[in-house]
């Protein structure tokens, strides 16, 4: 096992909304993704979803019992979407995110709106340095 340099890892792929598994921690994947534009409304019924903004800015729209709201995450900010919360990430151009989820978790959740062609519905792709 060698250290993973996130900036270097980001140079090894170009696909948007298509996370690469850069390491695992116990039964969790640490996924790195480039992001731009809208993802899809989706929900993870049984797990929280952790986001850390590596580059750029990510906005996460949330559907909560009190109504909809948006959380804006600049570079270096992190946020955890609680399990069972419908959410839709939206990224500015040049955004990169690190996501922590249990291994095997779909990037589009357990339920979702129709998935647009620019979003990869995946449990993560192996990363090759």
Does residue 119 carry a pLDDT above 80?
yes
In whole angstroms, give the CA distance from residue 23 to residue 31: 7
Tell me the torsion sign for CA atoms 90, 129, 76, 46: positive
Q: Quick one: which of 87, 100, 93 has its CA closest to 23?
A: 100
Q: Quick one: pLDDT at residue 1? A: 75
- Residue 14 has a pLDDT of 96
Q: Is the pTM of this model over 0.85?
A: yes
Q: Are 11 and 114 in contact (CB under 8 A)?
A: no
Whether 97 contacts 74, CB under 8 Å: no
Q: What are φ and ψ of residue 76, in 5° steps? A: 90, -10
Q: What is the mean pLDDT of the chain?
A: 96
Interatomic CA distance for residues 75 and 97, integer angstroms: 9
Q: What CATH class has 6-103?
A: mainly beta
Residue 41's SS3 state is coil
The number of angstroms, rounded, from the C-alpha of 121 to the middle of its chain's C-alpha atoms is: 11
Mean pLDDT of 31-55: 97
**In the chain, domain spans:** 6-103
């Amino acid at each position: 096992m060698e250290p993973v340099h996130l900036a270097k890892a980001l140079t090894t792929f170009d696909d948007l909304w298509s996370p690469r598994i850069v390491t695992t921690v116990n039964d969790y994947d640490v996924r790195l993704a480039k992001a731009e534009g809208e993802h899809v409304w989706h929900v993870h019924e049984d797990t929280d979803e952790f986001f850390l903004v590596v580059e750029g800015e990510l906005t996460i729209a949330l559907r909560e019992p009190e109504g909809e709201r948006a959380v804006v995450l600049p570079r270096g900010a992190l946020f955890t979407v609680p399990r069972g919360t419908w959410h839709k990430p939206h990224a500015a151009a040049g955004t990169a995110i690190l996501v922590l989820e249990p291994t095997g978790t779909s990037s589009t959740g357990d339920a979702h709106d129709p998935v647009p062609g620019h979003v990869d519905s995946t449990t993560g792709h192996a990363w090759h340095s």
